[in-house]
Amino acid sequence: MLMLNYFSDIAVKKESREMLKLAIPAAIGQLAQMSMGAIDTVMAGNLNTEALAAISVGSNLFMPLFVFAMGLFMSLNPLVAQANGAQRFNKLGDYLRQGLYLAIFISIPCIYIVNELEPVMIQIGVQSSIIPIVTGYLFAISWGILPLFLFLALRSVNEGLFSNKVIMIVAISAIPLNIILNNIFMYGYGSIPAMGAVGLGYATSLVWIFLFLVLLAYMVLTPKYKHIEFFTHFHKPNLLVFKEILKLGIPLSLTIGLEVMMFAAVGLFIGRFSIDVIAAHQIASNYSGLVFMVPLGLSIAVTARVGHAVGRKSLADVQRAVIIGFVYAVIFMLSAITLSVTLTHEIVSIYTIESKVVEQAVKLLLLAAVFMLCDGIQVTASGSLSGLKDTVIPMFLAGISYWVVGFPLGYFLAEAYGMQAEGYWIGFIAGLSTAALLLSIRLIRLIQQYKSGRITL
């Protein structure tokens, strides 16, 4: 009853509408982008189990680099939102331009690293039969790293300006292109030879180029941004703005990276098991990642709404945005858990019909259902803290959750107790539960400090 009374308040109703206006397209946009990875996984699985395993290992090797970059650029969201809330429009152009420079700078070492990962695979004991396929796949996606990073910078600026709808449209429009290019490069067309799983990498690079060019064209041409000097003049790199972005972005990047690196590390350790176990892990990871895109999209909306409220110096609006974000996250994740538990076999059958893989994937998907609620809570808390530009303490809390609790427990159960993939997934449950608890406590205490006047917006 108390919650119903709260949501009957006019200001809360307004914030709920504004949150949904941002969260729905943000979530759909995230789902559209993630679905391209799901499409790659399904198409690789339909090709053969070896291709599916190779895509799994290649994705896990690239993911830490991607997440590091994504975290840096996600800092543009609260920076832009706060500047927009304070009506400091001159800063908006600065953030975009320096974000693009940053994309160019960090893409160079990332391209090099992606092409030098074969010794890592040998060292950790990845199945030798798939190493050449993984190496070819990574080389193929390295051509798209620069446009991908440029797109991430543009996307975060648009999210800070509440332009989530255009990102959604761009991401959805890339899905049919992804399917067409996958078929061309996997099976061959005309003078293009059949490349199998490696072809998925070239298709992915071309899709990343498409995403960047379309979003860039929108920002140049839309009347919505006529009052902002994004590209009207040439501006050299600005160290002061760089430092502002990196001060917020590096701990944010590490916070996200610590979680994703746990998942990636587990994926690589599972790469030492049988092909069937690797494939099952990839299916469960892909599906749970797909579900996670909705609370991630909601978190992006929460970051923007909280950041905008901070720019207007309104603590009441900050609290409203945080509470509404948590309510929506819990509602969605409970719905996702119900769906996952009741339709487990049907979900797995979309990816593969091989009985051994299905049996393993069903077990992992049921474990994923256990941690989904905690995953939604922790990412919403993290987004709220980002909107408040609080990223350093959450970074340490993430380190404790994922690398003191989650991964060690998973490793112990998987290796010492012989539980293999299931042991690692129990580690996921422990890590995400700890993160949800610690980040929520941090958020509550921070808001209490604002309310008491010990710190100010």
Q: SS3 for 12?
A: helix
Percent of the chain with pLDDT over 70: 98
pLDDT in tens, 87-103: 887 788 889 899 999 99
Is the pTM of the predicted complex or chain greater than 0.85?
A: no
Q: How far apart are the first and last CA of the chain?
A: 32
Is pLDDT of 264 > 80?
A: no
Q: Residue 2: what pLDDT?
A: 46
Instruction: State how far the Cα of 15 lies from the Cα of 25, in Å rounded to an integer.
Output: 16
Name the pLDDT band for 352 (thresholds 50, 70, 90). Answer: confident
138, 117 contact by CB (below 8 A):
yes
Instruction: State how far the Cα of 291 lies from the Cα of 276, in Å rounded to an integer.
Output: 23
DSSP state of 233: S
Name the pLDDT band for 8 (thresholds 50, 70, 90). Answer: low
Q: SS3 for 229?
A: coil
CA Rg, the chain, in Å?
22
Computed over every residue of the chain, the mean pLDDT equals 89
Over range 158-169, report the average pLDDT.
Answer: 91
Q: SS3 for 189?
A: strand
Is pLDDT of 227 > 90?
A: no
313 conformational bin, left if phi > 0, alpha if psi -120 to 50, beta if neither: left
Q: Residue 7: what pLDDT?
A: 55
Residue keyed to tokens 């990962």: 117
Residues 6+ apart with CB under 8 A from 126: 57, 134, 268, 271, 272
pLDDT in tens, 360-391: 899 999 999 989 999 999 999 999 999 998 99
Is pLDDT of 10 > 90?
A: no
pLDDT in tens, 39-78: 887 788 778 878 888 887 888 788 888 888 988 999 999 9
158, 167 contact by CB (below 8 A):
yes
pLDDT in tens, 405-441: 999 999 999 998 889 899 999 999 999 999 999 999 9
Over range 329-337, report the average pLDDT.
Answer: 93
